Amino acid sequence: MKSILYATDYSENSVAALHLAHTLATSLDAMFIVMHIFDMPLSLSSPVTLSYLKKEERLLVEHREKLADFCALHLGRHWQDDQTKLVVQEHNSVKDGILEKLVAYQIDMLVLGTKGASAMKELFLGSTTEALISSAPCAVLSVPENFRTDSLKTLVYATDFEQADLFAIDRLVKIAKAFDAKVKVFHVTTKKEYAGDQQMEWFKDLLLQKVAYDQLEFVLRYSEKVLDTLQGYLIETKADVLAMLEREDRGIYRKLFHQDIVVRMESKIDIPLISFNVAGL
């Protein structure tokens, strides 16, 4: 992983994401880009004139200073090095502004903080986070505001035996190696699924041909309550991160969470989620 972009609105709920993004960038020796997008207030908007351009330039300077102060406050005064970059942009759409920079800088991972709710809940609220998970050309890591850790020890990948899972797990293992962390490939098989144990063995053989890592484990559980079983496993293993594949409406997100999602969203699981978009693998 060569580049990580962290986007913030300066809020407290984005601080945990800042810490994790910085930890990842440092551990992976990746370029660390910190970004803020602002929208020009209507009171300052006008046709493109010299006056307008000066106002925009002033706001760019102000936000750049504010962004630097925000990072220094939470990471320490000497957080910057040759691998870090501050980016401030005026744009009327946060999502579109971020997407532009993801492409321009060829970002490998986008890191975002979630707003108060658990990361799992936030993904289904029609938020900017969900929109970016669906359209970002890279992995998206959403971090709940109360997440705190100095290191990653256990990463869980929930697989649906997609071909693209092989590439996503390969990328997850590269992250795990930097922390000497365990990677647990997890699947819940139901009565409707054909030969889940055989599929797991087939998938395991394929993956081990591609990925070499001595802390890679494979776990199969039988249950009709897929979400509950997954959540229980995350508690059982004290997982630090949950990773999944996003593939339009056919990804595991949509398979796990059905029409009663609003009722079932309440979760005690409050850990970061990495979404690997099949388009970016």
pLDDT tens digits, 134-171: 889 999 998 988 888 878 999 999 998 989 999 999 99
The number of distinct structural domains making up the chain is 2
Residues 101 and 232 in one domain: no
Residues 171 and 262 in one domain: yes
Helices (H) and strands (E) in the chain, counts: 10, 10
Of the three residues 81, 112, 143, the one that is the final residue of a domain is 143
Element (H, E) at 267: none
pLDDT in tens, 49-61: 556 566 778 888 9
Residues 120 and 10 in one domain: yes
List the CATH number of the domain containing 274.
3.40.50.620
This prediction has a pTM of 0.87
**For residue 230, what are the domain limits?**
154-280
Q: Could you tell me if residue 183 is inside a domain?
A: yes
- Count Cα neighbours of 150 within 13 Å in the Cβ-side half-sphere: 0
Residues 107 and 164 in one domain: no
Residues 93 and 52 in one domain: yes
Whole-number Å distance between alpha carbons of 18 and 24? 10
Helix runs in 33-93, H state only: 50-75
pLDDT for 13 equals 86
Residues 190 and 123 in one domain: no
Residues 179 and 203 in one domain: yes
Of the three residues 143, 173, 197, the one that is the final residue of a domain is 143
Of the three residues 95, 120, 143, the one that is the final residue of a domain is 143
